[in-house]
Amino acid sequence: MDNRHSLLRDAPRLALLTLFGLIILAPYIWMVSASLKPTDEIFRANLALIPERFAAVENYARVFAQVPVGRYLLNGVIVCGGILFFQLLFAIPAGYALAKLRFPGREWVFGAVMLGLLVPPHVPALPLYAGFAALGMLNTYAALIIPSTISVFGIFLFRQFFRSLPDDLIHAARLDGMSEGAIVWRVALPNAWPAATAFAIFSVVAHWNDLFWPLIVVTGTDYATPALGVLHFRTEEAGDDFAALMAACAIMTAPLVLAFLVAQRRFVEGIATTGLKG
């Protein structure tokens, strides 16, 4: 009886959350549906998610025949993996220092980090491009990775998480003779895996889908990321074949969906346990 009353009490909230979820997922659902249809069915007046004639084989076969899917996905993994590695390498010690160490000007440094959150990535794009061009580093993985290696959002996120770590745990590690560097990687990081997973999801999704910076520093397909690869397919191969274009989009976004499904528990835990203390 209690379970029934609880379900009835929660039904409006669950219905509202389901509605919001469907609204958010609607573009992705339409994309997958369009990738299964022939092109002439996509822009009909009546909207039907289930195609009258399944054309998935033709659409996806065209993508795999005309698009170096493996190359684009590999580039995405290399770029996103490299960016995430360096972001964690810098953000975790910086967040720990701002949360647990006392040093002159700490609040000023944290204020500078907060100001960094206000700077859009488009602002330093021109000087960065000029610098990479002068060094002859355009069309390289380095040009795609280096500008994003320091994440002010990551520093802020880990700073907030480390503030919730008990000071007694840090003091005990110091009494055991551990250096601050050892404390960061052997004590703080193992306790910060939920926050690290949440940050990894944010970082990978942002840079996997990023089109602005790769479009500036990359020409051709050798170093094209998944988003840029879809753009090349749109302009050079797909033309007005929106069904094949939607199939390419579905293929390029599938790794993100799978990664989130695998890490969703850690992601939710990281968001829930990362406090927003001042």
At 196-220, the pLDDT tens digits run 888 998 899 899 989 999 999 998 8
Q: What is the pTM of this model?
A: 0.84
* Confidence band for 278, pLDDT divided at 50, 70 and 90: very low
At 84-143, the pLDDT tens digits run 999 999 999 999 999 888 888 888 998 988 888 888 888 889 999 999 999 989 999 999
Return the pLDDT at 4. Answer: 63
Return the pLDDT at 267. Answer: 65
How distant, in Å, are the alpha carbons of 11, 43, 243, 251 from that of 54? 36, 15, 11, 17
Q: Is the pLDDT confidence value at 276 over 60?
A: no
State the average pLDDT over residues 57-77: 89
- Report the chain's mean pLDDT, rounded to a whole number: 85
Return the pLDDT at 147. Answer: 93
Return the pLDDT at 229. Answer: 87
Q: Where are the domains of the chain?
A: 66-273
Return the pLDDT at 94. Answer: 93
Per-range mean pLDDT, top range of 16-20, 40-44, 267-271: 16-20
* Confidence band for 272, pLDDT divided at 50, 70 and 90: low
- Of the chain, the percentage scoring pLDDT greater than 70 comes to 90
Return the pLDDT at 165. Answer: 84
First and final C-alpha spacing in the chain: 44
Return the pLDDT at 277. Answer: 44
* Better-scored residue on pLDDT, 53 or 275: 53
Assess contact for 225 and 252: CB atoms under 8 A. no
- Domain 66-273: what homologous superfamily? MetI-like (1.10.3720.10)
* Confidence band for 238, pLDDT divided at 50, 70 and 90: low
Return the pLDDT at 239. Answer: 60
At 142-158, the pLDDT tens digits run 999 999 999 999 999 99
What SS3 class is residue 260? Answer: helix
Q: Is the pLDDT confidence value at 195 over 80?
A: yes
List, in sequence order, the alpha helices (H) in the chain: 2-35, 39-42, 56-66, 69-100, 106-116, 125-134, 141-145, 152-163, 167-175, 180-183, 189-191, 193-208, 212-217, 226-232, 242-273
